[in-house]
């Protein structure tokens, strides 16, 4: 018979990027550690296949899990050991603009052999991630990302806290190597680069041993270039506790599915209700069919059954609710792509027909402008309330990500939805977001379907 101790040891040794209950909560960060972006080989595909060459932080994929307490400092020296320039972006963090990692806007790209010193304070508890932001459609697809967990001051009542990074890879089916054509015009003009190999934490057969009645916190991160994950639970009773790092006022029972667009995160609390000897699952729903995204075999023994639904996570520091009546109104019209209505748009100051755009491998425009412009979409004053209408006049979904600040979606009844940093919008939809311009700097606003960003869907806002 298996003892509880055996189980804990096994759980420890099989854990990948996980923390078990016995680990101390928030160890202090070493003062200056390095994060090396470099090539490495990992066994991504099943063992009958060769190893896959990836690019990863410290040569791992996902990169090292960074955990820090709320209000704690993240200090790292990024070293670039890649064959091309890179930069590092902290997705969803309301930090100093100089640490945002956007080449050409907030810093220079870090050349091969060069380094960049990262030093910021993490203001909000929650689940965040970091990823390359130079040639992102290539560098993220090659594996340059990891999770950043900012811990609440008090540990929430869960037995375990697990990060699950979801990604899809486009692999050659014989060699298991990453398809190196990152600028295919079909991907750019349609739904983006979709992979043929789906993994959690880099493991296609990702599995975590659990016990009946355990309550787990699952921190889900969608690191894919373009795939929208639709997720459901089986053998697990769950609640959505936070979205894009920010706690919901009330936990939301997860009875149906949760959608995660590229860049988005969801924190779930799940109670294991499957019987001992059975397996619970995080299920990926694809065209109405269910696939295993992660498996949770139920081991002998059980945790204390919790009868109550979880308390909400503590709120993060107030960033001020935008006053909608006073708010400055902005509009973002998204046009272009295959099957779209865009006839022409402006690239580098010159109007191009859609055919000329396609010849330049550019397919999308925001307010008639393709890609980054010298002038921002808007210059906002610090503290100014903003409402921004986003019109998706294309045939595809887009995941619009605002750097440096979270926003609320304005519901049709005029109320404010939960704070988010990435809005998943479907073709034909008009949605409206609102926020207070509370973080000074130049902030990128782009589609997180990374080949869309690369082919026109990128703009920025200035807060002064």
CB of 145 to ligand C2O, least distance (A): 9
- Decide whether 296 or 435 has the Cβ nearer to ligand C2O: 435
| Residues in contact with ligand C2O, shown as a per-residue x/- string from 81 to 100 under the rule CB under 6 A | --------x-x---------
**Which stretch, 249-257, 302-310, 314-322, 441-449, contacts ligand C2O (CB under 6 A)?**
441-449
Cα distance between residue 438 and residue 124, in whole Å: 14
265 near ligand C2O (CB under 6 A): no
89 touches, from ligand C2O, Cu ion, none (C-beta below 5 to 8 Å by class) = ligand C2O
227 near ligand C2O (CB under 6 A): no
CB of 228 to Cu ion, least distance (A): 11
| 2 CB neighbour count, 10 Å cutoff | 10
Cα distance between residue 335 and residue 342, in whole Å: 6
The Cα diameter of the chain in Å comes to 74
- Decide whether 357 or 453 has the Cβ nearer to ligand C2O: 453
Which of 67, 76, 403, 431: binder of ligand C2O (CB under 6 A)? Answer: 403
**Which stretch, 71-79, 163-171, 359-367, 440-448, contacts ligand C2O (CB under 6 A)?**
440-448
DSSP codes, 194-245? --SEEEETTBTT-B--EEET-EEEEEEEE--SSPPEEEEEESEEEEEEEETT
Instruction: List interacting residues with Cu ion (CB under 5 A).
Output: 398, 447, 449, 452
Residue pair 330/242 in contact by the 8 Å Cβ criterion:
no
∠ Cα 19 262 312 (to 5°): 50
The DSSP bridge pattern shows strands 328-336 and 265-272 to be unpaired
CB of 89 to ligand C2O, least distance (A): 5
CB of 455 to Cu ion, least distance (A): 9
Which of 67, 76, 94, 131: binder of ligand C2O (CB under 6 A)? Answer: 131
Which pair of structure tokens corresponds to residue 199? Answer: 């993994």
Cα distance between residue 64 and residue 16, in whole Å: 10
Closest CA to 416 of 383, 377, 378, 385: 385
Cα distance between residue 352 and residue 360, in whole Å: 10
| 256 CB neighbour count, 10 Å cutoff | 10
Which of 401, 408, 420, 452: binder of ligand C2O (CB under 6 A)? Answer: 401
Which pair of structure tokens corresponds to residue 189? Answer: 């003009």
Looking at the DSSP bridge assignments, the partners of residue 132 are: 88
165 near ligand C2O (CB under 6 A): no
Looking at the DSSP bridge assignments, the partners of residue 185 are: none
Closest CA to 423 of 440, 415, 414, 411: 411
Which pair of structure tokens corresponds to residue 37? Answer: 């972006």
φ/ψ bin of 47: left (φ > 0), alpha (ψ from -120 to 50), beta (otherwise): alpha
CB of 448 to Cu ion, least distance (A): 7
DSSP codes, 327-346? PEEEEEEEEESTT----EEE
**Which stretch, 48-56, 76-84, 348-356, 443-451, contacts ligand C2O (CB under 6 A)?**
443-451
| 338 CB neighbour count, 10 Å cutoff | 15
452 touches, from Cu ion, ligand C2O, none (C-beta below 5 to 8 Å by class) = Cu ion
Q: What share of the chain is helix, strand, coil (3-state, %, to 5)?
A: 5, 45, 45
- Decide whether 315 or 428 has the Cβ nearer to Cu ion: 428
206 near ligand C2O (CB under 6 A): no
447 touches, from Cu ion, ligand C2O, none (C-beta below 5 to 8 Å by class) = Cu ion
446 near ligand C2O (CB under 6 A): yes
- Decide whether 284 or 403 has the Cβ nearer to ligand C2O: 403
CB of 444 to ligand C2O, least distance (A): 5
Q: Is 304 exposed, middle or buried (0-12, 13-18, 19+ CB in 10 A)?
A: exposed
Q: Which residue is nearest to ligand C2O (CB)?
A: 91
284 near ligand C2O (CB under 6 A): no
217 near ligand C2O (CB under 6 A): no
CB of 49 to ligand C2O, least distance (A): 29
Buried/exposed code over 341-378 (b: 16+ C-beta within 10 A; e: otherwise):
ebebbbbeeeebebeebbeeebbbbbbebbbbbeebbb
135 near ligand C2O (CB under 6 A): no
403 touches, from Cu ion, ligand C2O, none (C-beta below 5 to 8 Å by class) = ligand C2O
193 near ligand C2O (CB under 6 A): no
Which of 45, 170, 283, 444: binder of ligand C2O (CB under 6 A)? Answer: 444
CB of 418 to Cu ion, least distance (A): 22
- Decide whether 265 or 398 has the Cβ nearer to Cu ion: 398
406 near ligand C2O (CB under 6 A): no
What are the residues binding ligand C2O (CB under 6 A)?
Answer: 89, 91, 131, 133, 263, 401, 403, 444, 446, 448
């Amino acid at each position: 018979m298996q003892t509880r101790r055996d189980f804990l040891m096994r759980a420890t040794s099989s854990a990948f990027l996980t923390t078990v209950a016995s680990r101390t909560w928030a160890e202090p960060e070493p003062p200056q550690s390095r994060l090396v972006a470099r090539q490495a080989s990992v066994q991504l595909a099943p063992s009958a296949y060769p190893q896959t060459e990836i690019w990863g932080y410290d040569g791992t994929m996902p990169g090292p899990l960074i955990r820090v307490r709320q209000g704690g400092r993240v200090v790292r020296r990024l070293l670039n050991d890649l064959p091309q320039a890179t930069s590092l972006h902290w997705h969803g963090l309301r930090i100093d603009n100089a640490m945002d990692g956007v080449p050409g806007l907030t810093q220079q790209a870090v050349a091969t052999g060069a380094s960049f010193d990262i030093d910021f304070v993490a203001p909000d508890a929650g689940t965040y991630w970091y990823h390359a932001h130079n040639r992102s459609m290539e560098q993220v697809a090659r594996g340059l990302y990891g999770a950043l967990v900012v811990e609440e001051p008090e540990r929430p009542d869960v037995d375990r806290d697990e990060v699950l990074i979801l990604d899809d890879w486009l692999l050659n089916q014989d060699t298991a190597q990453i398809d190196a054509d990152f600028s295919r015009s079909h991907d750019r003009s349609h739904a983006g680069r979709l992979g043929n190999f789906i993994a959690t934490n880099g493991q296609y057969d990702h599995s975590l041993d659990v016990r009946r009645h355990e309550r787990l916190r699952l921190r889900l991160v969608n690191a894919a270039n373009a795939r929208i994950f639709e997720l459901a639970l089986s053998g697990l009773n769950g609640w959505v506790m936070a979205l894009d790092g920010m706690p919901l006022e009330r936990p939301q029972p997860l009875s149906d599915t949760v959608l995660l667009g590229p860049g988005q995160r969801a924190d779930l609390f799940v109670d294991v209700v499957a019987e001992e000897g059975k397996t619970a699952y995080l299920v990926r729903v694809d065209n109405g069919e269910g696939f295993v995204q992660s498996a949770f075999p139920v081991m002998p023994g059980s945790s204390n059954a919790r009868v109550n639904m979880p308390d909400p996570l503590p709120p993060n520091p107030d960033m001020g609710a935008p006053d909608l009546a006073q708010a400055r109104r902005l509009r973002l019209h998204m046009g272009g792509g295959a099957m779209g209505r865009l006839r022409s748009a402006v690239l580098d100051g010159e109007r191009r027909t859609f055919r000329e755009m396609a010849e330049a491998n550019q397919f999308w425009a925001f307010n008639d402008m393709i890609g980054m412009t010298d002038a921002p979409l808007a210059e906002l004053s610090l503290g100014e309330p903003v409402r921004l209408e986003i019109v998706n006049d294309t045939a595809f979904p887009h995941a619009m990500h605002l750097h440096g600040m979270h926003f609320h979606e304005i519901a049709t009844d005029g109320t404010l939805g939960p704070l988010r940093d990435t809005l998943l919008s479907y073709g034909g939809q008009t949605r409206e977001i609102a926020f207070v311009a509370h973080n000074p700097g130049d902030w990128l606003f782009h589609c997180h379907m990374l080949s869309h960003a690369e082919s026109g869907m990128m703009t920025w806002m200035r807060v002064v």
